[in-house]
Amino acid sequence: MTIQECVAYVESHMEVRYATQNGAYRSGRVISKHQGCVNHSVGCAQPKANVFFNSMNKPSAQWGVNAILGDFHLGEGRILVTLDLKARPWGCGSGKKGSWNNTKIQWEVCEPAGHTYAGGTMVAYDTAKNQAYFDRMWKMLVAWNVYCVVKLGYPVSGISDHAESYREGYGSNHSDMGQWLPKHGKSMDALRAEVQAILENKEDEEVDLVQFKELWHQMRKELQDNDSSAYSEQARQWAVENGLIAGNGTTVMVSRTICGKMFPRESSLSPSCSVSPDDGHGMTIQMTKRKKPDYSKRLVSDIRALLWVVTVGGLLLAAYCIYKGYTGSLPWLSAMVACPGLRTAWSAPATSAWQRATTKRAASLLKPQRRQISIRRIRRGAKTAPPSDRLTTQEVRAWTPLSRRWSPSFWLSLPLPAFGPSCRSEPIKRTQRLNC
């Protein structure tokens, strides 16, 4: 495990429940600077942590530790924090040199059931049966020691057990945990070695720039051929179905709705805008704006409905008056007919349509006659021939064959006063409207 994994593992299995009735808790003494820790085992066949908590949480208790590790018979076990990690425990007693109670945090580890003690030696302990229990305990013990080293900042060399405290002269004569660990091939030296290895794990060290670049290029190489992630699948499917994307090397016709959503400020987009790949690294969107209509046309379009209502309503009312035998004057009808605004509004659309028809039709009729008309103008004494696309209205009437003058199409091609304001006899340009 790494340091982060050890910390997370401990915190997920930790329960804080202070033994407030214990003498060590009530004394309020703390360790100013931790020099290490002392690992204890309970010295009896009892795996339940609550049993020892209840024994400790009494004013008469002569012992008190910072934590109890137990319940490994039920699963991964748990850590019951009974004193603050900085509180001075009553754990290892004292020796000829003093007591590690003053400088080291301490905890008890629950032992499995099924054995007894003779002095400081386990009797009838079944190693094979208890191997699973021990493995769970050992994992928790290593993680807890790493956790305390990180949180309290003491060296790994300060990790010890009760037996080592006695041999160093800082504790009473107990054999734990040396009476238990060797039965499963472990020792305090092995515990300190595993803790040291986790603390020195290269995965927790800082990575320099060169190593980072190598790892980054390796990751990109591994991911470059992978399929796209599932989180964007729905969005990609929507884009394909709506014609926004269509694979590599294609041009996609995007609907006006999609372009409007993508570019809301471009409110006058053409019905279609093209989206094409841009050098294989993106997409180019080409849009064409619609030509805005003239103000006069938009004004006529806006009031056309109102004009219809007013005109038709006035005529119907006049008809009703006649039907009822009303013989008086109708000044309102005369005013409406004579109103300059109504006359202009009604004549504008008709004049515009008339101009478009006459321009187009006159151009088609005059095209085969240009050469003939030009020659006759020269014969009549004109100094220069007129431009091939400019003829007066009188010339059109004069040089058009008689057979064509009787055709309806000919007369529709000329400006007649009955369809609007009178037209001036000015040259007619084939590509322009009549100046009426």
**pLDDT score, position 420:** 38
Q: Are residues 81 and 192 in the same domain?
A: yes
pLDDT reported for residue 350: 58
Does any domain span residue 213?
A: no
Rounded to the nearest integer, the mean pLDDT of the chain is: 75
- pLDDT for position 210: 75
Tell me, yes or no, whether 406 and 387 share the same domain. Answer: yes
Count structural domains, the chain.
Answer: 4
- pLDDT exceeds 80 at position 159: yes
pLDDT at 318: 79
* Residue 221 lies inside a defined structural domain of this protein: no
pLDDT for res 323 = 83
Domain end call among 189, 204, 219 = 204
Residue 409 has pLDDT above 60, yes or no: no
222 part of a folded domain: no
Predicted pLDDT at 385: 44
Residue 225 within any structural domain of the chain: no
Q: In this predicted model, which residue has the larger pLDDT, 336 or 41?
A: 41
Q: How large is the average pLDDT for residues 67-83?
A: 96
Supply the pLDDT for residue 363. Answer: 55
Q: Is the residue at 209 inside a domain?
A: no
| 380 has a pLDDT exceeding 60 | no
Where in the sequence is the domain holding 68, given as residue range(s)? 3-204
Give a yes or no: residue 212 inside a domain: no
**Is 113 a domain residue?**
yes
Answer yes or no: do 329 and 366 share one domain.
Answer: no
169 pLDDT above the threshold of 90: yes
pLDDT at residue 130 is higher than 60: yes
Predicted TM-score (pTM) of the model is 0.49
Asked whether residue 217 carries a pLDDT value surpassing 60, the answer given is yes
The three-state (H, E, C) secondary structure of the chain, written as one string: CCHHHHHHHHHHCEEECCCCCCHHHHHCCECCCCCEEEEEECCCCCCCHHHHHHHHCCCCCCCECCEEEECCCCCCCEEEECCCCCECCECCCCECCECHHHCEEEEEECCCCCCEEECCEEECCCCCCCHHHHHHHHHHHHHHHHHHHHHHCCCHHHEEEHHHHHHHCCCCCCCCCCCCHHHHCCCHHHHHHHHHHHHCCHHHCCCCHHHHHHHHHHHHHHHCCCCCCHHHHHHHHHHHHCCCCCCCCCCEEEEHHHHHHHCCCCCCECCEEEEEECCCCCEEEECCECCCCCHHHHHHHHHHHHHHHHHHHHHHHHHHHHHCCCCCCCHHHHHHHHCHHHHHHHHHHHHHHHHHHHHHHHHHHHHHHHHHHHHHHHHCCCCCCCCCCEECHHHHHHHCCHHHHCCHHHHHCCCCHHHCCCCCCCCEECCCCCCC
Task: Answer whether residue 81 shows pLDDT above 50.
Answer: yes
Residue 359 pLDDT class (50, 70, 90 cuts): low
